[in-house]
Amino acid sequence: MKRKLLGMTPEELQNVVLDLGLPKFTAGQIAQWMYVRKVRSIDDMTNISKAGRELLKERYELGLVPYCEVVESVDGTKKYLFPVSTVRSGGLKNPDGTPVMEDSSVEAVMIPDGDRATVCVSSQSGCRMGCRFCMTGRQGFHGNLTVADILSQFVAIDEAGILTNAVFMGMGEPLDNFDNVMRVIEVLTADWGFGWSPKRVTLSTIGVIPQLKRYLEGTRCHLAVSLHNPFPEERLEMMPVQKAWNIEDVVSLLRQYDFTGQRRVSFEYTMFAGFNDSKRHADALVRMLRGLECRVNLIRFHRIPDFPYACSPAPVMEAFRDRLNRQGLTTTIRASRGEDILAACGMLAGRHGQKKL
């Protein structure tokens, strides 16, 4: 099986070219083609000799995964479907000892907003966190995406050349695929890669505490925490991971870090009518987050099959927002984008979800 170049660092690329007997500077050329010019194949690397490209292709592939489908919302949001092949869970092996692979798909969303173009990327096929209100979580876990799989969502979409921001808020829990996600962030923010400021990248998590600590210490990118309910027993009803990683412990960890500078932390709060939208919940949220430099984003819940709750009415959401703001907790209602193409928060599911709708 050929190795993938997409996702390699300059040091790794140097080992590749030296092993093939190519000039050392070829490594920098490959990185430039992949991360700056965002080429679609090794053949497009035209300042590398034809003989050099042929040597590369004998043992390596670029690793880019083209999208197989795209749909566009009335609001300009676009959803891309990517085919992926992941290692089947359970550790099954083929007779030759290689892991059994499972064909699947993931979705990425491009959100235009004035002079900004944000891509919301997936890090896993499915998810093992099991949040009841999320289509991805309800389909189960199908495998981690490779570095090349994730980077393809940046490079292969039609807007690759105009992207301004990235959010790891698509399918999967990013911190459950920690090493691959961190390598992608390295590519995005390194001078030899995309060259983006860390301020252009936000990672969303339910609060996987061991990896969260490593993320906070290993990057200056923004953080968004899925909170959804300030009462542990009620949060557990919606989010089984509350048993493993209590939200109060997550907030306690965050208090150890500085968010008064360029790096921000926000809390995502999906609103469910009659479940988490009362004054009691608002006041408990203020008590939980008081003194922490942060923002709360209220999110409209988008109905999914076989789930009993509906979104809180707009006046209730506005009253909830205003109550938090009056008590000093900066709060906004996030605009919903792409709901008509099942691209809004909690609606991504790839082909697995499409079969269930």
What contacts 124, CB < 8 A, 6 or more positions away?
106, 141, 142, 143, 144, 145, 171, 172, 173, 176, 177
d(CA 236, CA 230): 10
Amino acid at position 101, single letter: M
Query: Which among 12, 72, 107, 159 is annotated as catalytic?
Result: 107
Query: Which among 120, 127, 221, 345 is annotated as catalytic?
Result: 345
Asked about 345 being catalytic, the answer comes back as yes
d(CA 276, CA 7): 41
Asked about 134 being catalytic, the answer comes back as no
The helix (H) or strand (E) run that includes residue 3 is strand 3-4
Listed residue (159, 153, 166, 155) closest to 106, CA to CA: 153
Q: Which residues pair with 247 in a beta bridge?
A: none
As a whole number of angstroms, the longest Cα–Cα distance in the chain is 69
First-to-last alpha carbon distance for the chain, in angstroms, is: 36
Token pair listed for 81 = 């479907």
Active site residues: 107, 345
